Amino acid sequence: MLNYMIYILAFVVGSILGLLYSYKQHGEPYVAAPDFNIPMAAIAIVGWCLAFVSDNMILAAIGFLLGGFVMGERPGYGRKETALGLIIAICLYGIKCGTMM
């Protein structure tokens, strides 16, 4: 039970930090970002891969923090990067589960 609480807290803190960062970077009202943000994509890939593939509780919590950071940006920002990170992490998780059998 404590593991899940740590993961949820890490995700919420990451979402709040991502929202604050996004408001600092973009002062305009809602505008969907048309370009693909490479640094945020790298953060999302690393974060979601750590969250799903890591067997260590601390690394998984850091992964949820990083994933929440990108996912928690303002509406219209970070959605493509989050989707890419989740797709790669789910594929790696499937490969990990497939090799364990």
- Give the model's pLDDT for residue 14: 95
Q: Is the pLDDT of residue 48 over 80?
A: yes
- Give the model's pLDDT for residue 24: 87
- Give the model's pLDDT for residue 101: 62
Residue 69 near residue 10, CB atoms below 8 Å: no
Give the residue extent of every domain in the chain: 2-19+31-100
Write down the H helix ranges in 26-56.
38-53
Residue 58 near residue 15, CB atoms below 8 Å: no
- Give the model's pLDDT for residue 97: 87
Taking every pair of C-alpha atoms in the chain, what is the biggest distance, in angstroms? 50
Q: With bands split at pLDDT 50, 70 and 90, how would you rate the model's confidence at 66?
A: very high
Neighbours of 48 (CB within 10 A): 26
Mean pLDDT of the chain: 88
Look at the alpha carbons of 90, 93, 97, 98 in this order and tell me if their dihedral is positive or negative. positive
pLDDT in tens, 9-36: 999 999 999 999 988 887 776 666 678 8
Half-sphere exposure of residue 11: CA atoms within 13 angstroms, side-chain side: 12
Q: What share of the chain is helix, strand, coil (3-state, %, to 5)?
A: 75, 0, 25
Q: Which tokens hold the place of 20? A: 């604050």
- Give the model's pLDDT for residue 76: 74
